Chain A
Amino acid sequence: MSLLCKNIAFTYSGAENPIFADVSFHLSAPGFHSFSGPSGVGKTSLAKIIAGDITSYSGEVSTNGLQTILYSHNKERLPGWSNVDRHLNQVILPSMRSQKDELIKIFGLSDCIKSRFDQLSMGQQNRVNLIRYLLQDCEVLIMDESMSNVDESTRENIILAIKAMFPHRYFIYISHNVMEVAKFCDSILVFRTNGKASPVVMIKGCNIGKGEILSPAALDATLLEIMNAS
């Protein structure tokens, strides 16, 4: 099972120039991967192409055995007619209840799970949304800014927990937080600004897991590599 993209190019309808062209990369192992780069380079578009939400692109996406690819983002909402716990229960299998409870605890949502979605803070809303996606049966989950408005330490806890709980899943984490990406991701697809020979570069991240200690030198090296690439 792997995700292979070859020479992907995409142009917004009505636009003259493609937002990106000739993007190729290969994710060969499950784990935490990332798309990184400044706003407007096409991270979301590429994610939607992979998820199948955008079909008007050129190039080839091979999902070799990765059957379900879900795309989630930070603007999503849950319906407001009942509390978020009820909504979650309605969209997960009963067998996943315990996993849900565990995630709620790790995500720091125990106190507000009986509230309605619009009563939550933006950070809480994003976490609730992420939980429902995590508990879906999928091989690839794309998380587009899915943890914005969540404080840093909670975010770290969440990422580490996700990595531990879903070791066989591919995650594509889209974030502007370079430090976080460098620290936790296995591979980082860096979108380069115009004028570079290749539109994207794949960089190896530190990919630390629960209980692992990160050497500052390794992190510095990765950060430097990302900076040089972009």
Chain B
Amino acid sequence: MLLRRVFQFFVIYFLFILGLMALKYSLNLSDYVIPAPSGIFQTLVVEYRQYSIATINTMTVAIIGQILSVIMAFVIGITGRQSTWLGSFIKVAAYNIQAYPIVALAPILFILLGDGFLTRLLIAAMICYFPVLLSVLGIMSKPIDDIEHFYRVTNRMRWQLEVKIRTFENLTQLTTVVAGSATLAVAGTIVAEFIAANAGIGYNIRIALYQSDLSKILIALFLIGITVAVYQALLELLGTAIKRAWTGR
């Protein structure tokens, strides 16, 4: 799975570069508009170390942000699953927060929390949590009647058991959503870095933009892409391992 994902990424990335090169050479564009392959390679050699460290920095924030958002989504999803007043209140609040574009909220966050780690983390978590929340809410508010009936009629149903049953029955969907949300967490972190942080690959992309250096951006995209592909594959493997351990299959 891991190798396949990385391979697929390579295919996509090199097709993209190939497309750019076709454009460059067919329109006879200068290296300023689209860098030549040698220029990209040279940038890779020069920036490899710094950009890799920046990407790892971004990934660290993204992963912590994702873990937080998954926890947050589960807490809200579980408390919001009931059709009680509190349940619907939590749902409305969660939806409302999402209605504000993060780019609009970001300046407030930066003023309140500064432009360091915490703000990046919060923005990553906020961007990534909503799809997870929607899935968790959907899953948690849909009864699995053919299993739950017995526990309900024999007064054995507790919320923990209910959550356990619904999680177990929708494990594939949940692991897919969590793995997918990794991309969003990374995107969120990069957006935060781009807007305001002083570290991470998003910040480097911003500098590259200032310097009108497309090679650096292409290298950054490559590193982000490959890291996300590996991270996602690892999450999927983890999901499969959890599933195997829990379902015995």
Residues of B within 8 A of A71 (CB): 153
Report the Cα distance A81→B144, complex, angstroms. 15
* B41 CB to nearest chain A CB (Å): 51
Evaluate contact between A77 and B146: CB separation under 8 angstroms: yes
For residue A72, CB closer than 8 A to chain B, the reply is yes
Chain B residues numbered 145-181 whose CB sits less than 8 Å from any CB in chain A: 146-147, 149-151, 153-154, 156, 164-165, 168
Q: Indicate which residue in A75, A80, A81, A132 contacts B146 across the interface (CB closer than 8 Å).
A: A75
Report the Cα distance A78→B156, complex, angstroms. 14
Residue-wise, chain A 22-52 has the 8 Å CB interface mask toward B (1 for contact) of 0000000000000000000000000000010
Report the Cα distance A77→B144, complex, angstroms. 10
For residue B84, CB closer than 8 A to chain A, the reply is no
Evaluate contact between B153 and A78: CB separation under 8 angstroms: no
Evaluate contact between B154 and A80: CB separation under 8 angstroms: no
Known: A71-B153, A136-B154. A81 touches B147 (CB 8 A): no
Known: A79-B168, A80-B168, A81-B168. A116 touches B154 (CB 8 A): no
Report the Cα distance A2→B96, complex, angstroms. 55
Evaluate contact between A81 and B153: CB separation under 8 angstroms: no
* A51 CB to nearest chain B CB (Å): 7
For residue A101, CB closer than 8 A to chain B, the reply is no
Evaluate contact between A116 and B147: CB separation under 8 angstroms: no
* A50 CB to nearest chain B CB (Å): 12
Residues of B within 8 A of A78 (CB): 147, 150
Q: Which interface class (under 10, 10 to 19, 20 to 34, 35 or more) fits A?
A: 10 to 19
Evaluate contact between B165 and A79: CB separation under 8 angstroms: yes
Residues of A within 8 A of B156 (CB): 91
Residue-wise, chain A 121-144 has the 8 Å CB interface mask toward B (1 for contact) of 000000001001100100000000
Report the Cα distance A53→B145, complex, angstroms. 12
Chain B residues numbered 16-51 whose CB sits less than 8 Å from any CB in chain A: none
Evaluate contact between A80 and B153: CB separation under 8 angstroms: no
Residues of B within 8 A of A136 (CB): 154
Residues of A within 8 A of B246 (CB): 81
Evaluate contact between A72 and B150: CB separation under 8 angstroms: yes
* B117 CB to nearest chain A CB (Å): 38
For residue A152, CB closer than 8 A to chain B, the reply is no
Most buried by A among B150, B156, B164, B246: B150
For residue A226, CB closer than 8 A to chain B, the reply is no
Evaluate contact between A80 and B247: CB separation under 8 angstroms: yes
Evaluate contact between B247 and A133: CB separation under 8 angstroms: no
Q: Indicate which residue in A91, A116, A133 contacts B248 across the interface (CB closer than 8 Å).
A: A116
Q: Indicate which residue in A51, A53, A76 contacts B147 across the interface (CB closer than 8 Å).
A: A76
Report the Cα distance A77→B150, complex, angstroms. 9
Evaluate contact between A79 and B146: CB separation under 8 angstroms: no
Residues of B within 8 A of A51 (CB): 153
Residues of B within 8 A of A76 (CB): 146-147, 149-150
Evaluate contact between B154 and A70: CB separation under 8 angstroms: yes
Name the CB-closest residue of B to A87: B150
Name the CB-closest residue of B to A76: B146
Report the Cα distance A72→B156, complex, angstroms. 15
Residues of B within 8 A of A116 (CB): 247-248
Evaluate contact between B153 and A70: CB separation under 8 angstroms: yes
Name the CB-closest residue of B to A116: B248
* A44 CB to nearest chain B CB (Å): 13
Residues of B within 8 A of A73 (CB): 149
Top 6 A-B pairs, shortest CB-CB distance: A77-B146, A77-B147, A75-B146, A76-B146, A81-B246, A136-B154
A-B contact pairs, 5 of them (CB 8 A): A53-B153, A70-B153, A76-B147, A80-B248, A81-B247
Apart from the given pairs A79-B147, A91-B150, 17 other A-B contacts in the complex at a CB distance below 8 Å: A51-B153, A53-B153, A71-B153, A72-B150, A75-B146, A76-B149, A78-B150, A79-B164, A79-B165, A79-B168, A80-B248, A81-B168, A91-B151, A116-B247, A129-B150, A132-B150, A133-B150
